[in-house]
Structure 1
Amino acid sequence: MPDDTTAAVRGQRLPRSERRAQLLDAALGVFVENGYHAAAMDDIAARAGVSKPVLYQHFPGKLELYLALIDQHTGELEQLVRDALALEDNKARINTMTRAYFDFVGQEGAAFRLIFESDLANEPEVRKRLDQIDLTCAEAMAEIITSETSMEQEEAVLVGVAFVGMAQTAARHWLTHEATLSEDTAVRVTAALIRRGFGAFPSVRSGADKPKESVGTTAG
């Protein structure tokens, strides 16, 4: 039986943008809890407190709804990474990029499961989006790498892929151990490991031009 909140929502005529946001929020909960294949449009409509025809007015099918969620949340992750790149100091950029993954994984609603643990990853349209966000974030890391080392662009992107994979895997591990490991500690350790990794590659600076505190050799 619908509760008072659901009944109130059913009686409201929301602006299209607000209704779409409401439907996406409901869909996220259903997809995260049940996975794509077990999720039903009936369940999503019921959670949103709307009729199924209203849901279909905004999204013609379950796949389109899922892709809209993927686009929304990969966009959020990309913005977090680009905000980190806006910083001028490379150490701060690496720290902030690393924290972006931890903050994203720790968001209420567990949207990260659609990005990093999707049960529809082999669907071409989903795969294309997931590959693109990985590449976008790796290229962002490569921008830092090429500014600090003599590495060529393609090599830097490869290393960026490895670093991005490390950040998101560490973040997901932290989420299951946050009772005993604080986010600040997990971010600090992971970012330090990434910065240390830069030390394996020749620096573009040497001698008098080399800063006292190199991104690739700083432990803190």
Structure 2
Amino acid sequence: MVTVDRPTAQEDKVQRAPRARMTGTQRRHQLIEVARGLFAERGFEGTSIEEIAQRAGVSKPVVYEHFGGKEGLYAVVVDREMETLLEMVTSSLTKNRSRYRVQQVALALLTYMEDRTEGFQILVRGTPTSGDSGRYSSLLTDAISQVEHLLASDFQRRDRDPALAPLYAQALVGMVTATAQWWLDVREPSKEVVAAHLVNLCWNGLMHLELDPHLVGPNEPQDDATSES
């Protein structure tokens, strides 16, 4: 006769212990993270409330209770990503000296894309209504505007035409963002090396490239004709 070991009373109690319920804030955060992964993977149209709920282990009414629907949840996900990226880029644009500032902008974008790849994919994929990357384009427009302002002041101090600042701002931001999107696919060399070479091109031009560019510290000599921004 085969003897079957029965669980002890203590083991049975452990096995049947209910999982701790999440607070409303914890549940909301969980749903946002689950939705962020699905939106990045499948886009807005390819993601359903049912699938979000299933992956989060809740019923559909719970998702509706927190966000009102898929559009509301998507908007929250996008707003959080925009806030994160904008804070990183703006901080880099408004501090430190000129070359170091350009370097930190490139690093901020690369770091965001590396750490929050899903969020970046959502931003560039487009909104459910317009079908274009309106939020990301808006962010780039803000960044270009800030760079334009900085360059105009720099050009004026150096007796150069400040009317050319918009052209250079478009070129600089465009070069950094295009290179960053390429790097997201290949992930090599390291983001620090990519940032150093981007600044090398921005700062020195093709005719005066450094042989071995490296990232500079905020107080290192930077061959900056304007010295301080």
Q: TM-score, normalised by structure 2?
A: 0.72
Q: 1-side partners of 2:100 and 2:31: how far apart? A: 37
Match of 1:137 in 2: 143
- Asked whether the equivalents of residues 163 and 194 of structure 1 are also in contact (C-alpha less than 8 Å), the reply is yes
The answer to whether the 8 A contact 1:32-1:114 is kept is yes
Runs of 4+ in 1 over 6 A off after TM superposition: none
Q: CA RMSD in A?
A: 2.9
**Matched pairs, number:** 192
- Matched residue, 2:36: 28
Per-residue Cα deviation, 1:157-203 (whole angstroms, up to 9, x for no partner) = 4532332222122112112222x412111111112223346x9xxxx
**CA–CA separation in structure 1 for the residues paired with 2:50 and 2:225:** 52
Contact 1:134/1:164 (CA < 8 Å) preserved in 2? yes
1:80/1:100 contact within 8 Å kept: yes
Is residue 42 from structure 1 mapped to residue 50 from structure 2 by the alignment? yes
Superposed displacement of residue 212, structure 1: 8.1
Where in structure 2 are the equivalents of 1:57-206 lying within 5 Å? Answer: 57-118=65-126, 120=128, 122-123=130-131, 127=134, 129-150=135-156, 151-152=161-162, 155-178=164-187, 180-196=188-204
- Separation in 2, partners of 1:90, 1:60: 46
Percent identity, aligned pairs only? 25
Q: Is the 8 A contact 2:103 2:195 kept in 1?
A: yes
* Pair 157,27 (structure 1): closer, same or farther in 2 beyond 3 Å: farther
CA distance in structure 1 between the partners assigned to 2:147 and 2:39 by the alignment:
30
User: Partner of 1:214 in structure 2?
Assistant: 224
Q: Would you say the 8 A contact 1:138–1:160 is kept in 2? A: yes
TM-score between both structures, scaled by the size of structure 1: 0.75
- 1:4-19 aligned within 5 A: 8=19, 11-16=20-25, 18-19=26-27
- Structure 1 residues 141, 119: closer, same or farther in 2, change over 3 A? same
Cα displacement string for residues 89-142 of structure 1 (whole angstroms, at most 9, x for unaligned residues):
111111001111101111145211111233747248x72x33321221112222
* TM-superposed deviation, 1:31: 0.7
What is the letter of the counterpart of residue 189 of structure 1?
Answer: H
Unaligned runs of 5+ in 1: 200-210
Task: Give the number of the structure whose alpha-carbon radius of gyration is greater.
Answer: 2
